[in-house]
Amino acid sequence: METTGFERHDHGACIREGVSAVDDRCRAQGLQFTPVRRRVLELLLEGHRALGAYDILDRLREEGLGSQPPVAYRALDFLVKHGFAHKIERLNAFVACACPGESHMPAFLICRNCDKVAEAEADMRDGRLAESAAGVGFRIERAVVEAEGLCPNCQGAAA
Amino acid sequence: METTGFERHDHGACIREGVSAVDDRCRAQGLQFTPVRRRVLELLLEGHRALGAYDILDRLREEGLGSQPPVAYRALDFLVKHGFAHKIERLNAFVACACPGESHMPAFLICRNCDKVAEAEADMRDGRLAESAAGVGFRIERAVVEAEGLCPNCQGAAA
DNA sequence: TGATAGCGGACATACTATAACATATCAAGG
DNA sequence: CCTTGATATGTTATAGTATGTCCGCTATCA
Ligand SMILES: [Zn+2]
Ligand SMILES: [Zn+2]
Ligand SMILES: [Zn+2]
Ligand SMILES: [Zn+2]
C-alpha cells in the first residue's frame, strides 16, 4: 500500500482496495453507496489526480449515469462529507482519499507538471502555525494545506 | 502595527499605512499604482476580511471606476502578483497583504463566524509537512495554508 | 396502507473567471 | 510633429464552477 502514488505500483489494486474500503465503511455506518457514488469514486481513483466536477459529469453522462451538474456535485458532496474524497481548493477539483475513513487533517502535494496529487498528513495543531495561532488566541478547527511543486518523477524531466 | 486585525486598533491608520507602504514600493520598483489599483487596495483594507472580485466590482461600479469583471480581476491580479494582496482559495476571495513587499509564504487564519482573516507566517519549507514531502522526494515550491476556526472575539460569543 | 426519508432526474440560475478585441495614455526616438 | 512600443483600461462575450428548486421514485417503517 503506497502512500503517494508517485511511485510505480499496482494501480488496479489501488482502485479495488479504495472502492472496497469505502464499501465496507458505508456498510458499517449505514450509508448508501449507490451506483453513482461508487462510479464517481472509481473515476477519482483512476489516476492519482484531481478531477473537476464537470470532468466527472462528462464521464457520467457518457455512461448514462446522470447528465446534470447536481448529480456530480451530490455524489462529490457525499464522498467529501464522509471523508472518502477531498476537495483541492486551489484546483477546484477533487481527489479520492488515500486512507478513507480514518479521520485526519490532510495536506496535499500537487505536482505542477504532471498534476498528480499525493496526500500527506499535516496536523495543523502542532508546528509553527499552531503556535502563531495560539499566540493570537485563534482556535484552528480545520485547515487547507496544499503544497505545489515538483514530484520526484518530474524533477528529472524538468519540463 | 498589529499583526492580526482581531484586536482593536486604529484602523484608519491601518488603511493609510497599507496604502502608503504599497505606494512606496511601487515607486521603488517602477510599478504603476493607478487609481483603480489604489482603490481596490483601499477596499481590501477596509475590513480585515476577504472580498470577492464581484464585491469589489460592485463598489468600483458605484464609483464610476469600472463596470466589467476584467477591471476588477486585472487590479486584483496586479496586487496579488506583486505581493500586495493574497487570494484565499477556500473563499474565492482576496485580502490585502499584512506586510506588503516582504516576500513570504503566508498562511491565513479565517474566522468562520465573523469572516475576519488574519495573516500568519507558515513557511512550509520546515516543519512536519516538509519532512513528509522530502521523504517522498517532492520539492515544495509554494503552499496554500488556510486555517479555519474561531477568532478570539468569536470564541466568547460562540454564535 | 400511508407517512417519512433519502436518492436521483431535470431545469434554471447564480457565482467565479478569462478570452478576445478595441481604445487610451504616455514616453522614447526619428 | 509623428511614429512606435509598452502598459493600462474599456467592452463584449463566453467559459468554468456551483446551487436552488421542484418532482418522482423507492425503501422503510409504523
Ligand atoms: Zn494507484
Ligand atoms: Zn509530476
Ligand atoms: Zn485594521
Ligand atoms: Zn471571528
pLDDT-derived band at B128 (thresholds 50, 70, 90) equals confident
Is the pLDDT at B19 greater than 70, yes or no? Answer: yes
The residue type at B81: K
Residues B40 and B19: their CA atoms lie apart, in Å, by: 10
User: What integer is the mean pLDDT of B112-130?
Assistant: 84
User: Does residue A2 have a pLDDT over 60?
Assistant: no
Average pLDDT, chain A: 91
Buried-exposed string B111-134: b where 16+ CB fall within 10 A, e elsewhere: beebebbbbbbbbbeebbbbebbe
Determine the pLDDT at residue B59. Answer: 96
Q: How far is CA B116 from the centre of its chain?
A: 11
Among the listed residues A34, A96, A30, A91, the one whose alpha carbon sits nearest the alpha carbon of residue A66: A34
Please report the pLDDT score of residue A158 as a whole number.
58
**Helix intervals (H) in A30-144:** 35-46, 53-62, 69-81, 127-135
Q: How far apart are CA B47 and CA A114, in angstroms?
A: 39
How far apart are the CA of A49 and the centre of ligand 2, in A? 10
Ligand 4 centroid to residue B110 C-alpha, Å: 8
> Above 70 in pLDDT, residue A85?
yes
Closest CA to B126 of A118, A112, A3, A129: A129
> Which pLDDT score, from 0 to 100, does residue A40 have?
97
Q: How near does any CA of chain A get to the CA of B134, in Å?
A: 10
pLDDT of A3 > 80? The answer is no
Is B123 within 8 Å of A118 when comparing Cβ atoms? Answer: no
Residues 12-51 of B with CB under 8 A from A: none
Give me B7's grid cell: 484586536
CA distance B84 to B142: 17
* B35-46 vs B69-81: helix crossing angle, rounded to 10: 80
Quick one: pLDDT band at residue B73, thresholds 50, 70, 90?
very high
Are A86 and A109 in contact, with CB atoms under 8 Å apart? no
Question: DSSP string spanning B17-61?
Answer: HHHHHHHHHHHHHT----HHHHHHHHHHHHSSB-B-HHHHHHHHH
Task: State the average pLDDT over residues A15-36.
Answer: 94
H or E element that contains B152: helix B152-157
* A148 vs B: CB within 8 A: yes
The answer to whether B106 and B80 are in contact (CB under 8 A) is no
* pLDDT for res B1: 45
Structure confidence by residue, pLDDT tens digits, B21-70: 999 999 999 999 999 999 999 999 999 999 999 999 999 999 999 889 99
A55 vs A63: CA distance, rounded Å? 13
Judged by a CB distance cut-off of 8 A, whether residue B80 touches chain A is: no
Domains of chain A and any CATH numbers:
3-158 (1.10.10.10)
> Per the confidence metrics, is the pTM higher than 0.75?
yes
| Residue B150 contacts A, CB cutoff 8 Å | yes
Which residues contact residue A70 at a Cβ distance below 8 angstroms, ignoring those fewer than 6 apart? none
Report chain B residues whose CB lies below 8 A from the CB of A120: 129, 132-133, 136
What is the pLDDT at residue A1? 45
In A97-136, the residues whose Cβ lies within 8 Å of chain B are 107, 109, 111-112, 118, 120-124, 126-129, 132-133, 136
Q: For residue B156, what is its C-alpha cell?
A: 466568547
Higher pLDDT, B147 or B128: B147
Query: Which amino acid type is present at position A23?
Result: D
Nearest-angstrom CA–CA distance, B43 and B52: 11
State the pLDDT confidence band at B124, using cuts at 50, 70 and 90: low
Confidence tier at B75 by pLDDT (50, 70, 90): very high
